[in-house]
Chains A and B, each alone.
Chain A
């Protein structure tokens, strides 16, 4: 047991005791990390220095994959697309789902039904979703362009055009963000009613109650959604693979899809691993910036 290991020196200050408890509580994850994540992670680091087609033993190539990556214009292109998709879907998603969660948090009739319906896009089969959106976005028969035609606007070709394919995908990703809504809803329940009552007694209007109570109390949850939303959308590729395969003309080729293509279309595992570690660095940089910014706006009970 780790507990005994830590007490071998016999001095048990309260801080030491707390630390010991910390390690015991964290152990389920920590042991799993060593057993199930450690090996694949180390292996994928090593992979990035090799050439490996899965059918033969890997051959060591040193930094060749990284050199190739830096000189690869499609890699840089995909980074731009990744940020486009990531920023678009997180910005739109976080705001839109927050508003939706506020709406779903109202004590109205049939809320159970409404909530279930809003979560539907997150559970329906990927094929149904893809087919539906291909129809909604179809340049000729699509719902969106038909609606646009009603107000006299000639709709774009959406997924078939370099300009509109990415906005279309961002729209789709927001629509399927049921999990984010759930997390907001869960967060909204944690705000003590007394805080609103106190604000009301102080004469605060709805905007001030929203801005001074809801937003700060929700800030750890909003922060969570922004951070994980960025991590997920910077890595996203499944939706894009189904809808556009990165096209047209690489307009929606994001880094996740580029990695997937090298790993499971070309089976060029070494290069895919190098790209993955580049992505890792990008995601970690974005996350660190968010943690740094969080100090200014996220309100924690415990520091």
Chain B
């Protein structure tokens, strides 16, 4: 029958076409593969994969540069012995495509130093990392070493997922705990024990767009500024409307985990009390600051409204695209700011209030899982990956090791004065104090968000919003009391 033959022929044709498309694409890949390599590293035999396991590297991180740097650095020692026989150490981290290559290089040289430790690196995108490893925890068995964001750590610690590291620190005389920011280790500590070693910990700083200040003929902000001065300047720097609008400041104070350190403590207010068991937003101090910021939003219109502020994609963050004169943001945005040439920028200390100067220091850490079978090998890895040397090797922009800031900033092209300001902030006032870290934090923030958004839109007044907030958030705080 004709139709039968046809159906089979079509199916075959479809399969053949698909099959044909594959080698075609592979060929494309094969073709293009050689070009960048041959420009940069000279002769590369065709058929060699772009990431050679014996010489990992690419345009951004040439292998030769990595090798030279690796040889010039001194790697820290520990009294914890290398395993006597081969062990496989699983290491779960989050990285983007760029950092992934650097991590591959780190592991490559690590294996040269520790031939008995085989690294099985598991890389996941940040957005799905937590889901992946929570599922893994439920399925039984977590990696030996794992990444943790500051906001997840206390939940893992409270549920006995992480191993305390103090014993291993004690066995590592060269550890130099002084080099870590003591004010910001709170995320990874519980009952006096340390459960995670920070990789990046950075203060939020006041960033400003020099071009906008120059146009307005105003002086750049400095460490003498108060919050009121900053908001007044923001009002003055606001100009234009519609597509050409320039905001004085972004973003509006949002009820996020770090709001206390970011804007309330300067006036003696807080979202939650120190042990996160009580809502303090309804008290006069907090109310006063929030009222000030609401005025800036509604009366001065110096900040993007939530309709204008796309909180979802960082691509359209107003400061980064030159549409805002000032922002308070984490020091890690310097990497991106250093790459763009649309405007000149600077950074200084966050403004102070009557109660002093505060800013959140946030970041993430690596931890050892309590169920690991290779704890000593895990420590050796943690110790080197998170040492000043390791952080210099990885060239991260906001290293937790204070001694790694300057060399990294130099390599990334970040101005020295900015780095010095960051380091001073880290030493003097940036801290984990006033940043929610206990297990209920996410729920607290997400519960507060819609209520606060209604106030920002102008659908409810501050007083009743804060009352509703207190009523709704208070019962959630019971979840912070995990025994």
Physical contact A–B (CB less than 8 Å) = yes
Q: Which residues of A contact B (CB under 8 A)?
A: 53-56, 130-131, 134, 138-141, 157-162, 242-250, 253, 261, 264-267
Q: Is B159 an interface residue (CB 8 A)?
A: yes
Q: Is B308 in contact with A139, judged by CB distance below 8 angstroms? A: yes
Q: Is B453 in contact with A249, judged by CB distance below 8 angstroms? A: yes
Q: Is B245 an interface residue (CB 8 A)?
A: yes
Q: Is B307 an interface residue (CB 8 A)?
A: yes
Residues of A within 8 A of B138 (CB): 54
CA distance A220 to B315 in the complex (A): 44
Interface pick from B377-385, B404-412, B443-451: B443-451
Q: Is A160 in contact with B306, judged by CB distance below 8 angstroms? A: yes
Q: Is B449 in contact with A247, judged by CB distance below 8 angstroms? A: yes
Residues of B within 8 A of A250 (CB): 450
Query: Would you give the shortest CB distance from A268 to chain B, in whole angstroms?
Result: 8
Q: Is B316 an interface residue (CB 8 A)?
A: yes
Q: Is A130 in contact with B312, judged by CB distance below 8 angstroms? A: yes
Query: Would you give the shortest CB distance from B72 to chain A, in whole angstroms?
Result: 39
Q: Which residue of A lies closest to B454 (CB)?
A: A249
Query: Would you give the shortest CB distance from B171 to chain A, in whole angstroms?
Result: 28
| Pairs of residues from A and B, 7 with the lowest C-beta to C-beta distance, nearest first | A160-B307, A157-B307, A55-B159, A250-B450, A249-B453, A249-B454, A54-B138
Query: Would you give the shortest CB distance from A198 to chain B, in whole angstroms?
Result: 23
CA distance A244 to B156 in the complex (A): 29
Within 8 Å by CB of A55, from B137, B308, B312, lies B137
Residues of A within 8 A of B163 (CB): none
CA distance A62 to B306 in the complex (A): 41
A139, A157, A242, A267: residue with the most chain B Cβ atoms closer than 10 Å: A267
Within 8 Å by CB of B306, from A131, A138, A247, A261, lies A247
Q: Is B316 in contact with A134, judged by CB distance below 8 angstroms? A: yes
Q: Is B38 an interface residue (CB 8 A)?
A: no
Q: Is B446 in contact with A261, judged by CB distance below 8 angstroms? A: yes
Q: Is A134 in contact with B312, judged by CB distance below 8 angstroms? A: yes
CA distance A243 to B305 in the complex (A): 16
Q: Is B454 in contact with A140, judged by CB distance below 8 angstroms? A: no
CA distance A249 to B449 in the complex (A): 7
Residues of A within 8 A of B242 (CB): 140
Q: Is B170 an interface residue (CB 8 A)?
A: no
Query: Would you give the shortest CB distance from B16 to chain A, in whole angstroms?
Result: 19
Within 8 Å by CB of A140, from B243, B306, B315, lies B243
Q: Is A55 in contact with B131, judged by CB distance below 8 angstroms? A: no
Q: Is A134 in contact with B137, judged by CB distance below 8 angstroms? A: no
Within 8 Å by CB of B459, from A53, A54, A160, A249, lies A249
Q: Is B442 an interface residue (CB 8 A)?
A: yes
Q: Which residues of B contact A (CB under 8 A)?
A: 130-131, 134-135, 137-138, 155-156, 159, 161, 242-243, 245, 305-313, 315-316, 442-443, 446, 449-451, 453-454, 457, 459
Interface SS, B side: helix
Instruction: Identify 16 residue pairs between A and B in the complex whose beta-carbon atoms are under 8 Å apart, listed by A's number.
Output: A54-B134, A55-B137, A56-B159, A130-B313, A131-B313, A138-B310, A140-B243, A140-B245, A157-B307, A157-B308, A158-B307, A160-B305, A160-B308, A247-B453, A249-B451, A250-B450
Residues of B within 8 A of A140 (CB): 242-243, 245, 308
**Given A131-B315, A161-B457; A141-B305 close (CB under 8 Å):** no
Q: Is A264 in contact with B131, judged by CB distance below 8 angstroms? A: yes
Q: Is A162 in contact with B313, judged by CB distance below 8 angstroms? A: no
Q: Is A242 in contact with B307, judged by CB distance below 8 angstroms? A: no
Residues of B within 8 A of A245 (CB): 311-312
CA distance A245 to B137 in the complex (A): 26
Q: Is B159 in contact with A248, judged by CB distance below 8 angstroms? A: no
Q: Is A162 in contact with B457, judged by CB distance below 8 angstroms? A: yes
Within 8 Å by CB of A161, from B156, B307, B309, B311, lies B307
Q: Is A248 in contact with B457, judged by CB distance below 8 angstroms? A: yes
Residues of A within 8 A of B161 (CB): 55
Residues of B within 8 A of A267 (CB): 134, 155
Residues of A within 8 A of B450 (CB): 246-250, 253
Query: Would you give the shortest CB distance from A47 to chain B, in whole angstroms?
Result: 10
B155, B312, B442: residue with the most chain A Cβ atoms closer than 10 Å: B312
Residues of B within 8 A of A55 (CB): 134, 137, 155-156, 159, 161
Residues of A within 8 A of B305 (CB): 157, 160
Residues of A within 8 A of B130 (CB): 264
CA distance A243 to B312 in the complex (A): 7
Q: Which residue of B lies closest to A248 (CB)?
A: B453
Within 8 Å by CB of B159, from A53, A138, A158, lies A53
CA distance A138 to B449 in the complex (A): 22
Residues of A within 8 A of B309 (CB): 160
B130, B138, B161, B309: residue with the most chain A Cβ atoms closer than 10 Å: B138
Residues of A within 8 A of B308 (CB): 139-140, 157, 160
CA distance A134 to B130 in the complex (A): 27
CA distance A9 to B424 in the complex (A): 88
Residues of A within 8 A of B156 (CB): 55
Q: Which residue of B lies closest to A127 (CB)?
A: B313
Residues of A within 8 A of B446 (CB): 261, 265-266
CA distance A53 to B160 in the complex (A): 13
**Given A131-B315, A134-B313, A261-B446; A248-B306 close (CB under 8 Å):** yes
CA distance A249 to B130 in the complex (A): 26
Query: Would you give the shortest CB distance from A259 to chain B, in whole angstroms?
Result: 14
Query: Would you give the shortest CB distance from A35 to chain B, in whole angstroms?
Result: 18
Q: Which residue of B lies closest to A264 (CB)?
A: B131
A247-B449, A249-B451 are known contacts; what are 8 more A-B pairs with Cβ within 8 Å? A53-B155, A55-B155, A131-B313, A140-B243, A244-B312, A248-B457, A249-B454, A267-B134
Query: Would you give the shortest CB distance from A237 to chain B, in whole angstroms?
Result: 14
CA distance A139 to B316 in the complex (A): 13
CA distance A157 to B304 in the complex (A): 12
Q: Is A54 in contact with B135, judged by CB distance below 8 angstroms? A: yes
Query: Would you give the shortest CB distance from B76 to chain A, in whole angstroms?
Result: 32
Within 8 Å by CB of B312, from A56, A161, A242, A253, lies A242
Residues of A within 8 A of B459 (CB): 162, 249
CA distance A134 to B454 in the complex (A): 21
Q: Which residue of B lies closest to A52 (CB)?
A: B138
Q: Which residue of B lies closest to A263 (CB)?
A: B131
Q: Which residue of A lies closest to B307 (CB)?
A: A160
Q: Is A141 in contact with B307, judged by CB distance below 8 angstroms? A: no
